[in-house]
Amino acid sequence: MNCHDALQQLDSARPDGSDWDAPELRDARRHLDNCHGCTTMMAQRHAWDRAFLETAANLAGAPPDGLETKIHASLRSHAPGHQPDVTTIAPEPTSQRNTRHQWLKGLVALVLLIGIGLAWQSRLAETESLTVEQLRNWPDARQFESVDDFEALAALPEWIESQGGPPVPAGWDPAWMRRPARGWPSRNTIAVTAFRVPLARKDSVSGLLLAVPIHDVAQVPTAHHATGSRPRYSRSGRFSTTAWTDNASGTVFVCLVAPGQFERLRRALVPRPV
């Protein structure tokens, strides 16, 4: 079972973990025991679930220290007809003051729930699996004009290199990669690198290469090498794209070249007889 399927099955379990011993979760739990990345992700998800449940169950409790005072001050400063110079304030009846405190407690709880919900939604958006179709069309969404649009490439966030840099496909010379590598927005595990593959007579083929961890892709390509992958145009027609899976490095690669250049790249990647 791969990471994506295991996380999907475990997401269907109850937040309190009471049904983790169910037979249908056995394979997913076995995968979790052997995958550090999935274990970390599930621990984060359980922490969010517990925080959400505890906040929702404690609506009648007192708000955090100092928060009620700040909300009081904010409401007074933004109230219509606020007069900061007024020095005499009539005391509120006890029943009205208690009602107001209850209302403020409910408001604080609502604000906390909204904040947790927005953070949860943002985290889900970041961890949601990408599709190969999204990866093929990403330059169109980022307004790339061509594979040599280095201005658009430089606008991407910086790739934080770890373990010697982003993966390189099998059979590719690391010297073909142009540095520095860039990153996918909000996905610090995905690297975007420009490359240039030399050809005969001082000619070359330029392009862009995405290196995406397998667990970030919803359905990985069946091809296992660039030469065995069938090219397809991106949505705009400005790029010829190929995608393949490198199981050895646990990476899905997506290559983009100018239209008509893939066959030249494929010939350059085919090993020549010695």
In this predicted structure, what is the pLDDT of residue 64? Answer: 54
Q: Is residue 93 part of a domain?
A: yes
Contact 197, 268 (CB under 8 A): yes
Reply yes or no on whether the pLDDT at 188 is more than 80.
Answer: no
CA distances (Å), origin 163, targets 12, 31, 166: 34, 24, 8
Structure confidence by residue, pLDDT tens digits, 60-89: 555 555 556 766 776 676 665 555 555 555
Strands (E), 1-51: none
In this predicted structure, what is the pLDDT of residue 125? Answer: 46
Q: Is residue 24 part of a domain?
A: yes
52 with 179, same domain: the answer is no
CA–CA distance, 159 with 180 (Å, rounded to integer)? 8
In this predicted structure, what is the pLDDT of residue 122? Answer: 47
61 with 182, same domain: the answer is no
Contact 184, 156 (CB under 8 A): yes
Three-state secondary-structure class, residue 240:
strand
Diameter of the chain measured on Cα atoms:
97
Contact 208, 192 (CB under 8 A): yes
Among 215, 219, 160, which residue's Cα sits nearest to residue 42? 215
Domain membership of residue 172 as a residue range: 132-269
157 with 72, same domain: the answer is no
139 with 261, same domain: the answer is yes
176 with 233, same domain: the answer is yes
DSSP symbol at 158: B
Q: Is residue 274 part of a domain?
A: no
In this predicted structure, what is the pLDDT of residue 274? Answer: 45
262 with 176, same domain: the answer is yes
261 with 144, same domain: the answer is yes
CA–CA distance, 274 with 261 (Å, rounded to integer)? 25
Q: Is residue 64 part of a domain?
A: yes
Give pTM, 2 decimals.
Answer: 0.53
Structure confidence by residue, pLDDT tens digits, 253-269: 999 999 989 999 998 88
In this predicted structure, what is the pLDDT of residue 68? Answer: 62
Burial of residue 201 (CB within 10 Å: 0-12, 13-18, 19+) is: exposed
CA–CA distance, 75 with 266 (Å, rounded to integer)? 66
In this predicted structure, what is the pLDDT of residue 208? Answer: 92
Q: Is residue 150 part of a domain?
A: yes
121 with 214, same domain: the answer is no
Q: Is residue 16 part of a domain?
A: yes
DSSP symbol at 157: P
Residue at which a domain ends, from 97, 112, 127: 127
CA–CA distance, 163 with 232 (Å, rounded to integer)? 32
Q: Is residue 52 part of a domain?
A: yes
Structure confidence by residue, pLDDT tens digits, 130-159: 888 988 888 877 778 888 888 888 888 887
Residue with tokens 């995968």: 31
Name the token pair of 213: 């961890």
Torsion angle of C-alpha atoms 166, 170, 176, 178, degrees rounded to 10: -10
Q: Is residue 84 part of a domain?
A: no
- If pLDDT is split at 50, 70 and 90, which confidence band does 108 have? confident
136 with 252, same domain: the answer is yes
36 with 109, same domain: the answer is yes
Reply yes or no on whether the pLDDT at 11 is more than 90.
Answer: no
183 with 93, same domain: the answer is no
What is the total count of domains within the chain? 2
Among 268, 263, 205, which residue's Cα sits nearest to residue 229? 263
257 with 155, same domain: the answer is yes
CA–CA distance, 254 with 192 (Å, rounded to integer)? 10
Among 215, 195, 214, which residue's Cα sits nearest to residue 205? 195
Name the token pair of 35: 């995958």
